[in-house]
Amino acid sequence: MKKTLNRDNKNLLTANAETLAGMLDCGRATAVKIGTDAGAKIQIGRRTLYNVSIIEKYLSAVSGE
């Protein structure tokens, strides 16, 4: 298997669970729960991505901003 390219994580539209966990500074399971609760889950075939802008809005609403 080819190694994944190291790409800039700035201004992402979507992120997988591992990248989202890194962005949120939490575990993978917590990142998946936040993404699902926010309604940001996108399923394309077997691949699951999360819409970053929806998650940002969700976290702002939950934090009370």
pLDDT of residue 12: 87
Number of Cβ within a 10 Å radius of residue 51 = 19
48 three-state secondary structure: strand
pLDDT of residue 64: 85
- pTM greater than 0.85 (yes/no): no
Contact in structure between 40 and 54 (CB atoms under 8 Å): yes
Contact in structure between 21 and 28 (CB atoms under 8 Å): yes
Residues of the chain with pLDDT under 70: 1-9, 65
Q: Distance between CA atoms of 60 and 45, rounded to whole angstroms?
A: 30
Query: Mean pLDDT for the chain?
Result: 90
Q: In what order do the strands lie in the sheet with 41-44?
A: 14-15, 47-51, 41-44
pLDDT of residue 15: 95
